[in-house]
Chains A and B, each alone.
Chain A
Amino acid sequence: KAGVTQTPRYLIKTRGQQVTLSCSPISGHRSVSWYQQTPGQGLQFLFEYFSETQRNKGNFPGRFSGRQFSNSRSEMNVSTLELGDSALYLCASSLGERFPSYEQYFGPGTRLTVT
């Protein structure tokens, strides 16, 4: 089975721009969660989608949003980028029948640099 894939792997954006990151979960997995990883704050939960609905949300501003498609692929969007948004964005997939599914599998991440 293919693992979780994330595109693009690296991205450089300018302050004020917006960005869209994509995640394809493991085949058969219906839940996708997003996390932000920075040296200062570590790993922080952004949100989780299950069956095209946002099921849970972490403590991030409204500039961070996401969606999930009928094939379980997910995108997250960050608008009006700030320097502090520079981070590794990780996507995790799980079966998701009941939150939380106890096995979450992570993709390699998208490294976003904001200049």
Chain B
Amino acid sequence: GEDVEQSLFLSVREGDSSVINCTYTDSSSTYLYWYKQEPGAGLQLLTYIFSNMDMKQDQRLTVLLNKKDKHLSLRIADTQTGDSAIYFCAEKGGGADGLTFGKGTHLIIQP
């Protein structure tokens, strides 16, 4: 079945850029998403990209998609302490099932 892989942890200094990476296996993916989850909370949709796009920018967030390598990344510019959270990559494949999520990347901000 479809699989989405992310590294578990990323540590960055406040003010630096954070780059969270994700790989997926479903070549029929239509949409790819980034969600943020803070402790005790649900998932917040940050941004998404359609599979025929290479890049999408939304304020401090930049999503890059390499469809050939099935690689998705989320860049957060000027990382702040409020960005500390778990970031989930998710994909919607060509099948009818719901979103397939990665295990999440814990973003740790160092002062």
Contacts and interface: CB of A to CB of B under 8 A. Distances in A.
A102 B42 contact: no
A42 B50 CA distance: 24
A42 B104 contact: yes
Interface in B1-58: 30-31, 33, 35, 41-45, 48, 50
- How many residues of B sit at the interface, in one of the four size bands? 20 to 34
A48 B97 CA distance: 8
B92 interface: yes
A106 B43 contact: yes
Contacts of A56: 96-98
Interface in A50-68: 55-56, 58
Contacts, number: 58
Interface residues of A, number: 26
A4 to B, nearest CB: 8
Residues of A contacting B: mostly:
strand
A47 B96 CA distance: 10
Contacts of B104: 42
Interface string B67-98: 00000000000000000000010101000111
A33 B31 contact: no
B45 A105 contact: yes
A14 B104 CA distance: 30
The CB with the most chain B CB atoms within 10 A, among A46, A58, A100, is that of: A100
The CB with the most chain A CB atoms within 10 A, among B35, B97, B102, is that of: B97
B99 A102 contact: no
A104 B45 contact: yes
A108 B42 contact: yes
B46 to A, nearest CB: 11
Contacts of B45: 103-106
B94 to A, nearest CB: 11
A43 B88 CA distance: 10
Contact of A102 (B31, B35, B96, B97): B31
Contact of A58 (B42, B44, B98): B98
